[in-house]
Amino acid sequence: TSQPVKTTHVLGHDQYPEGLGANCAAASSILCLPILRSNGTLAGIAELYRTIGSHAFSDEEEETANTILLWGGLALHNAEMVDMMMKQKQLNDFLLSVTRSIFQDIVSMDTVIMKIMNHAQKLVTADRASLFLVDSKTNELYARIFDVGSDVSLDEPGAEKVERKEISRR
């Protein structure tokens, strides 16, 4: 549970029907405190005990141990966050490496746009794709990359095709 347990009756306690274990046979007082994550879930239990002849744990000692464990829970949370960030950094480094390898041979922007259009076309399983841009001076749509997926390729001599359409204003 996530509730603290403090008792001086270890052998008779419901949670310890067989005592604390082989190494703790002489325990007379026990203090168990939860170690909680930032979202309130249980991360672990700190078990403190005193042997026969020692005094029982006081409320002040319980509060001190609880405060220390609160800081321990924060340290655990920070360690988990660092681990998550390291995994995210590894993923980002991998994606950057893949992106660099894809774009290292690309010389012109038309080639980059063609590759993006081809991937977009495959992603949505389209037969053809076109990219229209707005010419701000003439207020016309134009496409240097028009009808990707047809038999015409920009790599062929004279294959560059520029289509223009006027944009109607509403």
Q: Tell me the pLDDT tens digit for each residue of 86-100.
A: 999 999 988 888 787
Over range 105-131, report the average pLDDT.
Answer: 79
Interacting residues of 155 by C-beta distance below 8 A, sequence separation 6+: none
β-strands 27-36, 5-7 pairing: antiparallel
pLDDT at 14: 67
Tokens 């359409």 belong to residue: 165
For 69, counting Cβ atoms within 10 Å of its Cβ (0-12 exposed, 13-18 middle, 19+ buried), the class is buried
Check whether 37 has a pLDDT greater than 90.
Answer: no
Compute the half-sphere exposure of residue 52: CA atoms within 13 Å on the CB side of its CA.
5
Over range 102-123, report the average pLDDT.
Answer: 76
Interacting residues of 68 by C-beta distance below 8 A, sequence separation 6+: none
Of 83 and 121, more confident: 83
